[in-house]
Amino acid sequence: MQDLPDNAALLKAIEAFLQADVMPTAEPSLAFRARVAVNVLGMVRRHLEQAACDHGLREREQLQALTGKKGTMAGLTTEVCRLIADGTLNPDDPRVRDYLWLTTLQKVAVDQPRYVSYQRAQDAWDHFQHARRQPAAEE
């Protein structure tokens, strides 16, 4: 039995088909709907690719560290929001900032990975993380 391509590869093939074969020859309204479909397929594909990197596990660990609790992602996220709202967690806390930055970058990576501001923010975050680790490496 042959192995099937993974889901991300299948979605990428459909994206390519719509872009190369459907959009150029379609009437404008169908071409527009195909473009929307390509964008949706790309978002789903990127979401699958991100999920394969275990970002969800990392996010859950951050949420558990911030709240001191275990639970679902939705429940933990709600709890972090509540803790920020009631002043228990301070948005200036580096752990909170790290969580908010990483979560935002992960969401934009799925939604708009070619967005120039996202790319700049990701580069700045990577540089910040590298600089943060640098003193530990020198000791």
Number of Cβ within 10 Å of residue 136's Cβ equals: 7
**85-89, 120-124, 135-139: least confidently modelled range:** 135-139
Secondary structure class of 122 (helix, strand, coil): helix
Domains held by the chain: number:
2
pLDDT for residue 112: 83
Residue 123 has pLDDT above 70, yes or no: yes
8 A C-beta contact, residue 58 and residue 70: no
| 134 and 91 housed in the same domain | yes
Judgement on whether residues 91 and 48 belong to the same structural domain of the protein: no
* Structure-token pair, residue 122: 């990701």
Kindly tell me if the per-residue pLDDT of 139 is higher than 60: no
Residue 130: per-residue pLDDT = 85
Same domain, 34 and 89: no
Looking at the structure, do residues 48 and 60 belong to the same domain, yes or no? no
**Stretch (H or E) spanning 65:** helix 55-67
Is pLDDT above 80 for 4?
no
Assess whether 70 and 136 both reside in one domain.
yes
Q: What domain range includes position 101?
A: 54-139
- Write down the pLDDT at residue 136: 54
How high is the pLDDT of residue 13? 94
pTM of the model: 0.61
80 with 67: CB under 8 angstroms? Answer: yes
Q: Look at residue 138 and give its three-state secondary structure.
A: helix
**19-77 pLDDT tens trace:** 999 999 999 999 999 999 999 999 999 888 877 666 678 888 999 999 999 999 899 99
